[in-house]
Amino acid sequence: MDRTALLYPDGKTRCPWPGADPLYIAYHDTDWGVPDYGSRALFEKLILDGFQAGLSWITILRKREHFRNVFENFEAERIVRFGPDKVEALMQDGGIIRNRAKILGTIESAKVYLAIEEREGFSRYLWDFMDGRPLQNAWRSTGEVPAETALSQAISKDLKAKGFKFCGPTIVYAFMQAVGMVNDHLVGCFRYEDCAALGRAGHPG
């Protein structure tokens, strides 16, 4: 259903997708769309978006802290050392999404992340696709927001070529929205201008 920004009971006008869930509203208000320039944080969010494929983001959000605990705070240097015993333990852990392919894919993606981080910096690598600055969109309704773009296709293709797993163009676009590479808050949302202001400085590196 195509919807514009909604007036919530607290008097703030927001994107409609958080609904009435307090956790989702808090995520929308403080996290989603805020430009993120930290390599480890970007790696975490890209991995979690891969786990989210086929599910709703709120499912991942509710499990995010446990994901962080069992995946060593998404420190890639530790994840690459995960062996068969760790993989089996994760497969028995109901606090995460128990998908063997995605767990093994995380280990492989951690290796790719470390190679990129050493060569040029994972954050710089991703943000170079944006020339260091977020794209400020101006969507007025949810129906205008794309599921993927030519840019997300290009990033996806490059990540896959390097060996990164579960990073299709739709996953990558959801990731770009989450980490503020694109500002996809609706223009009527109170966070639209806040995120636009945060993005004006561009990548600090």
Higher pLDDT, 148 or 202: 148
Query: Mean pLDDT, to the nearest integer, of 54-79?
Result: 96
Residues 6+ apart with CB under 8 A from 156: 167, 168, 169, 171, 172
- Is 198's pLDDT higher than 90? yes
Residue 193 has pLDDT above 90, yes or no: yes
Length of the chain: 205
pLDDT above 90 (res 147): yes
Domains of the chain in start order, with CATH, are 6-199 (1.10.340.30)
- The average pLDDT across 168-191 equals 98
pTM of the model: 0.97
- Residue 148 pLDDT: 98
181-187: average pLDDT = 98
Distance from C-alpha of 47 to C-alpha of 102, rounded to nearest angstrom:
9
Mean pLDDT within 153-170: 98
The pLDDT of residue 154 is above 80: yes
Interval 9-58: pLDDT, tens: 999 999 999 999 999 999 999 999 999 999 999 999 999 999 998 899 99
Does residue 196 carry a pLDDT above 90? yes
CB-based burial label for 152 (10 Å; 0-12, 13-18, 19+): buried
Which pLDDT belongs to residue 205? 74
CA atoms within 13 A on the CB side of 76: 24
pLDDT at position 201 is 87
Q: What is the pLDDT of residues 74-111, one digit of tens each?
A: 999 999 999 999 999 999 999 999 999 999 999 999 99
pLDDT band at 1; cut points 50, 70, 90: confident
Q: Kindly tell me if the per-residue pLDDT of 190 is higher than 80.
A: yes
- Angstrom distance (rounded) from CA 136 to CA 126: 17
* Tens-digit pLDDT profile for residues 121-141: 999 999 999 999 999 999 999
DSSP the chain: -----EE-TTS-EE-STTTT-HHHHHHHHHTTT-----HHHHHHHHHHHHHHTTS-HHHHHHHHHHHHHHTGGG-HHHHTT--HHHHHHHHT-TTS---HHHHHHHHHHHHHHHHHHHHT-HHHHHHHTTTTS-EE---SSGGGS-S--HHHHHHHHHHHHHT--S--HHHHHHHHHHTTSEE-S-TTSHHHHHHHHHHTT----
Angstrom CA distances, 61 to 21, 24, 119, stand at 11, 8, 31
- The per-residue pLDDT for 47 is 98
